[in-house]
Amino acid sequence: MNVRRAQARDAQAVQRLYQVLVPGDANVSVTPERLATLEHDADNFLLVLERDAEVCGTLLLTLCLDAMYRSLPFGVIENMVVSPEARGSGCGRALMAEAERIARERHCTKLMLLSNAARPEAHAFYARMGYDGERKRGFVRYLNRTAPLAAKG
């Protein structure tokens, strides 16, 4: 297994993974140009996991400026997905470990994420990874989407 930053050549693989994450969302569109931009962004890390030369997992880590703890940032993990065939093989753990390594290296005060309320298996995974899903509650307001997609969330 190898976790690395996504590159332009990974666009189709990342798009396939996102379609697993949000099936039926016709707005999912991953472009090589966007991945090339993210590859060189200092505060955004689109990670992919390769296993047997195939991309089978991804997540996006964004480091956010904060004013609460001097100049220390916090991290947000978004769009974490592992292909169904690779689940249970350590791919998700490897992606999350790399995100945490980057966040620690950049002195983040916390990492947070949202997970669809209808995914209890994902919630159990995040709890095993040390994430607390009991103390805070996430809220989302979708913008710039068609009404049916906002309802699917």
Whole-number mean pLDDT of the chain?
93
**Which structural domain, as residue segments, surrounds residue 76?**
2-152
Residues 146, 147, 148, 152, Cα dihedral to 10°: 100
Rounded to whole angstroms, the Cα distance separating 35 from 17 reads 14
pLDDT tens readout for residues 94-137:
999 999 999 999 999 999 999 999 999 999 999 999 999 999 88
Q: How confident is the model at residue 146 (pLDDT cuts 50, 70, 90)?
A: low
Q: Note whether 17 and 83 are within 8 A (CB).
A: yes
* Count of Cβ atoms closer than 10 Å to residue 99 Cβ: 22
pLDDT at 79: 97
Report the pLDDT averaged over residues 62-91: 95
| CATH number reported for the structural domain that contains residue 34 in this entry | 3.40.630.30
Report the pLDDT averaged over residues 34-52: 97
Global pTM? 0.90
pLDDT at 153: 47
Structure tokens of 11?
Answer: 């666009």
Structural domains in the chain (count):
1
